[in-house]
Amino acid sequence: MLSIETARSWYPASDPVHGFDHVLRVYRIAERLAQAEGADLEIVCAAALLHDAGDAGRLSHQHASAEFALQVLLAAGWPDERIAAVQHCIRAHRFRDDSEQPETLEARVLFDADKLDAIGAIGVARAIAYAALDSQPAYAEPSASFLETGQKAPSEPHSSYHEYMFKLRKLSQRLYTPSARRLAAGRHQFMTEFYIQLAAELQGER
Ligand SMILES: [Fe+2]
Ligand SMILES: [Fe+2]
């Protein structure tokens, strides 16, 4: 097994969205889902620790991380087919890129664990942190065109509420494993209530 302490050095210390805190939460949830679903624990845990580790300068981060995983696991003496299994998990973990879908149970577990960290209370905290890092507000009222097509009006901000409307509220329906779907139900409900309350407060209704 790769150690958590080794993995820590692969990530920036202070990234509230994709830093090591996120990786550690994904690792813990992925381990739990893998046990419940009967997935290969060593593959899932390695994939969780490595899934966002690649520097996405030249490649999208799923491809950069899969290449980084190859180097790490070759150096650790892993057999080719198990390295390939980890790389598939990593390449298939992105919601926005469906060119490689999660085909194996291990890839589905990693996908689900990563998405569970984007919803619920932690999902809200990350969405607001991400917006703040990008100088965007927690809430702005989305335009009709954004709500219909995802296309923003000129100078429309991308608030955390936009991210909720565009992506986060759909995630619980996109999960693969029954264990993750059960966990997602409560997280989805909490997040939805938060954004309903936020919108109402900012419109002066509550
Ligand atoms: Fe990622
Ligand atoms: Fe991630």
Summarize pLDDT for 139-172 with one digit per residue, the tens. Answer: 999 999 999 998 999 999 999 999 999 999 999 9
DSSP secondary-structure letter at 172?
G
Tell me the mean pLDDT in the region 50-65. Answer: 89
Which ligand sits closest to the CA of 22? 2
Ligand 2 center–CA 52 separation, angstroms: 6
Q: What is the pLDDT of residue 87?
A: 98
How does residue 58 score in pLDDT terms, banded at 50, 70 and 90? confident
Q: How far apart are the CA of 13 and the centre of ligand 1, in A?
A: 16
Ligand 2 center to 206 CA (angstroms): 34
In whole angstroms, what is the distance from residue 22 CA to residue 9 CA? 14
Tell me the ligand closest to 17's alpha carbon: 2
Tell me how far the alpha carbon of residue 65 lies from the centroid of ligand 1, in angstroms: 9
Ligand nearest to the CA of 60: 1
Written as six digits, the tokens of 14 are 């202070």
pLDDT of amino acid 96: 82
Q: How far is CA 87 from CA 36, 64, 205, in A?
A: 22, 10, 49
pLDDT digits (tens, 9 = 90+) for 178-198: 999 999 999 999 999 999 999
Q: How remote is the CA of residue 60 from the centroid of ligand 1, in Å?
A: 9
pLDDT-derived band at 97, boundaries 50, 70, 90? confident
Closest by CA position to 93, among listed 42, 149, 48: 48
Q: Separation of 51 CA from ligand 1 center, angstroms? A: 6
Taking the alpha carbons of 82, 100, 33, 39 in that order, is the dihedral positive or negative? Answer: negative
> How remote is the CA of residue 92 from the centroid of ligand 1, in Å?
10
Ligand index nearest the alpha carbon of residue 126:
2
The per-residue pLDDT for 95 is: 85
Predicted local confidence at residue 203, as pLDDT: 87
pTM for this model (two decimals): 0.94
DSSP at 166: I
Q: 79, 87 in Cβ contact below 8 A?
A: no
Which are the contacts of 132, defined by CB distance < 8 A and separation ≥ 6? 138
* Distance between CA atoms of residues 70 and 74, nearest Å: 6
